[in-house]
Amino acid sequence: MEPVVVFTTNSDIEARVVMALLDSHGIASFRISGNPQAIWPMAVNPLGEIRIAAPAELAEAARTIIESHREDVGTRVVRLRDEFDDLEQRIGYRFTDRGLLEHALTHRSRAAEDISGGVLDNESLEFLGDAVLGLVVADALFRRYPDYSEGQKSKIKASVVSTQSLARHAEQIRLGEHLLLGRGEEKTGGRFKQALLADAYEALIAAIYMDGGLPAAAEFLDRELSDAIDTGSTQEVVGLDYKSALQERLQGLGKPLPDYRVASESGPDHRKAFTIEVVVGGEVLGSAVGKTKKEAEQEAAKQALARLG
């Protein structure tokens, strides 16, 4: 007998959750294309839907198991619980379209490994999120510090939206735990890479914007970045310059001047990430990633100062 479709979704994550659920109850299931007779391990139909099928004699039991694990909210049945529930609680936003969240967390390495071609990476969302982030931070600075010059506000904005700053916020909400990575990126510690975390954070901003509009994105960023904006304004007032401070510190210690070198470059042309090392007397005292070489040099100098005490 032909297998029977028991569940349909647009989410790769949800499909895996359902298949694992059925497997735990001893029911073998399959991902199939729009034609139930053509079974493929990772297939989607032309509309991007993933269909889960089970043996005909077990179809009713499979549907019962799936229904028993749904959440009932009034008369509306929402998606199965999955690994994104905890993340939504931490960010304080519940997605109407959770597929957007999945899209934001999908790294290009994961999309490249999908043989169906139905998985999209988050790079387009990164681009949009960068624009939304810049607008919201600029608006906040305009309203909070009307007397600051354009140069002062630009410096504060640069510190708030830097790779290091965004990566720290991503770490605080444990975004790395939920990234959808390819096998190679997983093995090389992609969940802990600053540039990758910062990019995913921007994609998350875009996903919130797409799902709930600019007010929802602005509310999220106000909770997330308010302290960073205040800290950035304090640093700007005192004229903090880590590179200059490091040079003065080294001179006071009788050490040679620092040398900044590019250790690596990564990312697409519109979203380059530079890894800069600061070297003193042949020893690497600091290493940092930034959207610009200047940004990464400042962060590397900051690390070197901390190491020198």
The residues that are catalytic are 130, 202
Cβ-in-10-Å burial (0-12, 13-18, 19+) of 101 comes to buried
Q: How far apart are CA 208 and CA 168, in angstroms?
A: 19
DSSP 289: E
CB 71 within 8 A of CB 78: yes
Element (H, E) at 288: strand 283-290
Q: What letter would DSSP give residue 180?
A: B
CB of 87 within 8 A of CB of 174?
yes
The torsion region of residue 255 among left (phi > 0), alpha (psi -120 to 50) and beta comes to beta
Q: Which two tokens stand for residue 194?
A: 């600053």
- The DSSP H or E segment spanning 32 is strand 30-32
Which ranges of 188-256 would DSSP assign to H, the alpha helix?
A: 194-237, 242-252
Distance (Å, rounded) from C-alpha 254 to C-alpha 183?
47
Burial of 308 (0-12, 13-18, 19+ CB in 10 A): middle
Spatial neighbors of 63 by CB under 8 A, at least 6 apart, are 6, 7
The amino acid sitting at 90 is: R
Q: How far apart are CA 43 and CA 33, in angstroms?
A: 5
